Amino acid sequence: GSVIGILGGGQLGRMLSVAASRLGYRCHVYEPGAAPAGDVAHRLTTAPYEDQAALRAFAESVDVITYEFENVPTAALDLLESLRPIRPNRRALAVSQDRLSEKDFLAGIGLCTAPYRNVETESDLPEALAALGVPAILKTRRLGYDGKGQIRLSDAGQRDWTGAPSVLEGFVEFSAEISVIVARGADGQVAAYDPGLNLHREGILRTTTVPCGLPAGLLTDAVLIAARIVNALDYVGVMGVELFVTADGLVVNEIAPRVHNSGHWTQAGCAVDQFEQHIRAVAGLPLGDGQRYADVEMENLIGDDMLRLPELLTQPRCQVHLYGKGDARPGRKMGHVNRLR
Ligand code: ATP
Ligand code: MG
Ligand code: MG
């Protein structure tokens, strides 16, 4: 059987490993830090992305390389790619590693994003603020997640700085946030899951609900947008596309070139969930049935939410997923539940 290499040993890598195992594949996870996927993968390498010998040994032990984490350094990717195919491809990674290139790409294929300006250094901020007005959001171009590296600016004279090259985004007045989990196979076949409604608290995704209760035409538009993105990138694998619903239509917030937290509901709602779908795509299998057969609410278990675990474990119609992380620090994603409604 083939071996799938996964860059990143967090919970997404863990759930990819489980899905791969079910299809008879073995997984080799490469993770520089703590690795909650380590105990479920068949093999784990714990080494920095600068360790060329470790990278080489990892690549040589696998048939294809995928990732659960989009911020792998370029030099490491260059070495890996010289040895084995990387799916999704390098362009998808390059585009999504930097919010500026991501927005340029999205705008370049004719999609609507928040109005934005490059704020390379602090001195670019006044002009960008003058152009976009307030409120606006300053976001670091690289490495941000769960709302980290973002500053909301509500006063045109405000000069707060993220400390790194950033983009300034005009504030989008949205009525809802949805996401499309889309998959594209090695043969170019595209399949999308039903869009989910996302609720955030303190910048972190709390719940995703399907069906999301929005008009069917809007959801079709959302799926077509997601398909346009994966086709433009000649993408192979699963992608998460976050969208704002506004009075003027759909605005793309951001894309993630990997399985996505807002797609965890597929574990309880679909015959083939996003993790299996991703493994199928990168392994060159046909995409599976992503139809939704149930109404589901996914709730993240963050920090102290773990205190509710005894109760959650005995709830009917409730699927509990835990990531095997030791320390339930505030803001840390420890697991999630999928409630069948
Ligand atoms: P993730 O964990 O999803 O990767 P992130 O740190 O990359 O999060 P974003 O998705 O860019 O952050 O923003 C987090 C949340 O902040 C969004 O889901 C949305 O609620 C709000 N937000 C971000 N950008 C804008 C905007 N331009 N206008 C209005 N709200 C915004
Ligand atoms: Mg993000
Ligand atoms: Mg986001």
Looking at the predicted structure, is the pLDDT value of residue 1 above 80?
no
pLDDT one-digit tens code per residue, 277-330? 999 999 999 999 999 999 999 999 999 999 999 999 999 999 999 999 988 999
310 with 194, same domain: the answer is yes
The domain spanning residue 335 has which CATH number? 3.30.470.20
The span from the CA of 322 to the CA of 315, in Å, is: 15
241 with 295, same domain: the answer is yes
The span from the CA of 273 to the CA of 270, in Å, is: 6
CB distance 105 to 113 below 8 Å:
no
Query: Hey, what are 333's tokens?
Result: 């994603």
What's the structural domain count of the chain?
A: 3
139 with 262, same domain: the answer is no
166 with 190, same domain: the answer is no
> Which residue range forms the structural domain that includes residue 266?
176-340
Q: Is residue 326 part of a domain?
A: yes
231 with 137, same domain: the answer is no
Q: Would the pTM count as exceeding 0.95?
A: yes
Compute, in angstroms, the gap from residue 140 CA to the centroid of ligand 1: 12
Residue 284's Cβ-count burial label (10 Å; 0-12, 13-18, 19+) is middle
pLDDT one-digit tens code per residue, 6-31? 999 999 999 999 999 999 999 999 99
CB distance 174 to 222 below 8 Å:
no
294 with 315, same domain: the answer is yes
- Does residue 281 have its Cβ closer than 6 Å to ligand 1? no
Closest C-alpha among 241, 242, 296, 288 to residue 269: 296
Compute, in angstroms, the gap from residue 51 CA to the centroid of ligand 2: 27
- Does residue 137 have its Cβ closer than 6 Å to ligand 1? yes
Compute, in angstroms, the gap from residue 294 CA to the centroid of ligand 2: 27
- State the ipTM, two decimals: 0.98
The domain spanning residue 31 has which CATH number? 3.40.50.20
% of the chain with per-residue pLDDT over 90: 93
**What is the average pLDDT across 157-174?**
94
124 with 199, same domain: the answer is no
Q: Is residue 92 part of a domain?
A: no
Q: Is residue 319 part of a domain?
A: yes
Query: Phi/psi at 127 (nearest 5 deg)?
Result: -65, -40
153 with 203, same domain: the answer is no
> Atom of ligand 1 at shortest distance to CA of 173?
29
What letter represents residue 231's amino acid?
N
223 with 304, same domain: the answer is yes
Helix pair 90-97, 74-83: axis angle to 10 deg: 170
The domain spanning residue 144 has which CATH number? 3.30.1490.20
Q: Is residue 105 part of a domain?
A: no
150: annotated binding-site residue? yes
